Structure 1
Amino acid sequence: MNALQFSRTGDLAALEFVEVAKPVPAEGEVLVEVKAAGLNPSDVKNVLGRFPYTTLPRIPGRDFAGVVVEGPQDLIGQEVWGTGRDLGFFRDGSHAQYLTLSAKGVAHKPKALDFAQAASLGVPYTTAWDALQRSLVDANTRLLVIGANGAVGSATLALAKILGAKILAAVRRPEQLKALQAQGYDGILLDKAEDLGSSVNAVFKGGADVIFDTTGFWLPAAVSALAPFGRIAIIAAPVDGHVQLPALALYRKGGCVVGINSLLYNSETCAGMLEQFGKFFDQGLLPLPDGLLETPLSQGLQRYAEVNEGAGDKVILIP
């Protein structure tokens, strides 16, 4: 089968388009014919060596959608989707024509999504769902989403709306704010860090109950925007991993910081999440993704380079 594979890390030149043997599922596993696979920044970082626990040689790729062709009889022929920390790190991932994984690691693909759409959602939506669940977001929550225009931010807005939360979206550029307002969301512009608290308090008197910083840059400033007993969820940090946190102000508010890391969850756990919110697509409650850049797997090396350079398109590899 065709696949992308790397046998060393450090630069993208390590990634090759190769012919390898089709995998054989073990007991309790399925063989999935991959119809579409998402390309996430973490896949690029994996090849670059940012995840020291990755075993080599390795086929990268976490997100996928496809059809089960071998495995338990009740799953054969089923259209499925999936993601998880094991794929592309501890076992071969989705940037190939076929992959094997636990039979419990696949979820039924929503009928409303085609394969490319389903393959674009795994990491962003499981990250957003985990952040909302672990931050205890419900219909009584005043939620601030920082970086609301990104993939995870957009997923968070859509899921939080279903949960009934009161939502405030924060973005950097006026055109981003205008686009979010056109979708019915209240929003603010991010400018000076010292102004975040007053901007949020002007909308949510007393502060936001939950703040989800998807950017990694607003954690210190978010404390002033937090309501008593509030939660700040984070998924990123500066390159050196350190911030100056106003701990005195945080503990006086009874606040806490919640780290959100999708790489803590294997494919079986992620399949459970996908089943939980996947039904919302078929119910017409979640927006269908558009603007995807579908490209042949054979052009994957070029797409990896573009994502590494900061290209904004959501790339879907088609084996």
Structure 2
Amino acid sequence: MQALQFTATGSLDHLGLVDLPRPVPAEGELLVRVEAAGLNPSDVKNVLGRFPYTTLPRVPGRDFAGVVEQGPAEWVGRPVWGTGRGPGFTRDGAHARYLAVPAGGVAVKPQALSFVQAASLGVPYTTAWDAVERCVVAAGTTFLVLGAKGAVGSAALALAKVRGARVLAAVRRPEQAQALRDQGFEVLLLAAPEQLAAQVQAIWPGGAEVIFDTTGFWLPAAVSALAPFGRVGIIAAPADGMVAFPALALYRKGGVLVGVNSLLYDTVQCAAMLRQFGADFDRGVLPVPQHIRAVPLGNALGQYRAVEAGSSEKVVLVP
């Protein structure tokens, strides 16, 4: 079968298109014919060596959608989607024609989503789901998303809206702000970090109960804009991992800092998340993703390099 594989880390030069034997599913596993596989920044970082637990040689790729070809009878022929820790890191991933996964590590694909659409959502939506769950976003919660136009930020807005939260989307560029307003969101156009507290207070006196920083650069400012007993969720940090953090300000507000890392969840745990919010796509209360570029797997190397160079375009690889 056609697959991407890397045999060393540190450079995308180690990633190549190869022909591999079709995986043989073990007892309790499924063989999925991959119809589409998402390309995420973490897939690129994996080849670059940012995940020390990755074993080699390895086929990358966390997010997938496809059809079960082998496994328990109740699964064969069913369209599924999945994501989670394991594929691409400690076992071969989804950037291939076939993928073997635990039988509990997939969910039935929502009928409202095509394979390409479903494959684009795994990491962004499970990350956002973890954030809104662990930051306790519920009906009436004032919820500010910093970097709201990115994949995770957009997912967090949508999931929080379904829960009935009072959502505020924060972005830096006017064209991003207008696009979000067109989708019905209240928008804050970010200025300097030291102005964030005043900007939020002008909309929500007392501050935001939950702030989700998807950028890695607004954490100190987020603490200043937080309501008493509020929660700040983070998914990223500067490249060196260090932030000058206002611990005293967080302490005085009784605040909580929540680290959100989707790689803490295996495919079985992620499948449980997919089942929960997947039903909302079929109910029509979550937006079907648009503006996805489907690229043949044979042309994937160029897409990996584009992500390394900073591209935020959502790309799905199609075997």
TM-score, with length taken from structure 2: 0.99
Following superposition, the deviation at residue 306 of structure 1 comes to 1.1
Instruction: Identify unmatched segments of 5+ residues in structure 2.
Output: none
CA distance in 2, matches of 1:299, 1:175: 31
Residue 236 (structure 2) aligns with: 236
Q: Deviations over 1:91-121 (max 9, x none)?
A: 0000000000100000000000000000000
Aligned-partner SS, 1:196: helix
What aligned pairs does 1:92-171 form with structure 2 within 5 A after superposition?
92-171=92-171
Q: Structure 2: which amino acid aligns with 1:144?
A: L
CA distance in 1, matches of 2:157, 2:317: 26
Residue 275 (structure 2) aligns with: 275
Instruction: Identify unmatched segments of 5+ residues in structure 1.
Output: none
Q: Structure 2: which amino acid aligns with 1:76?
A: V
Q: Structure 1: which amino acid aligns with 2:254?
A: G
Q: Structure 2: which amino acid aligns with 1:209?
A: E
Residue 182 (structure 1) aligns with: 182
Q: Structure 1: which amino acid aligns with 2:6?
A: F
Following superposition, the deviation at residue 240 of structure 1 comes to 1.1
Aligned-partner SS, 2:148: coil
Residue 192 (structure 1) aligns with: 192
- How much is the aligned-residue C-alpha RMSD, in angstroms? 0.6
Aligned-partner SS, 1:18: strand
CA distance in 1, matches of 2:99, 2:273: 20
CA distance in 1, matches of 2:270, 2:139: 24
Superposed structure 1 runs of 4+ greater than 6 Å apart: none
Matched, 1:291 2:291: yes
Aligned-partner SS, 1:299: helix
Q: Structure 2: which amino acid aligns with 1:47?
A: V
CA distance in 2, matches of 1:150, 1:189: 15
CA distance in 2, matches of 1:43, 1:251: 36
CA distance in 1, matches of 2:200, 2:28: 50
CA distance in 1, matches of 2:224, 2:318: 45
Q: Deviations over 1:254-313 (max 9, x none)?
A: 001000001101000000000000000000111111111111111111111111111232
Residue 214 (structure 2) aligns with: 214
Residue 70 (structure 1) aligns with: 70
Residue 248 (structure 2) aligns with: 248
Aligned-partner SS, 1:232: strand
CA distance in 2, matches of 1:309, 1:23: 32
CA distance in 2, matches of 1:299, 1:173: 31
CA distance in 2, matches of 1:300, 1:10: 18
CA distance in 2, matches of 1:177, 1:302: 30
TM-score, with length taken from structure 1: 0.99
Higher alpha-carbon deviation: 81-90 or 180-189: 180-189
Q: Structure 1: which amino acid aligns with 2:221?
A: A
CA distance in 2, matches of 1:283, 1:292: 22
Aligned-partner SS, 1:132: helix
CA distance in 1, matches of 2:50, 2:139: 38
Matched, 1:90 2:85: no
Q: Structure 1: which amino acid aligns with 2:24?
A: V
Following superposition, the deviation at residue 140 of structure 1 comes to 2.5
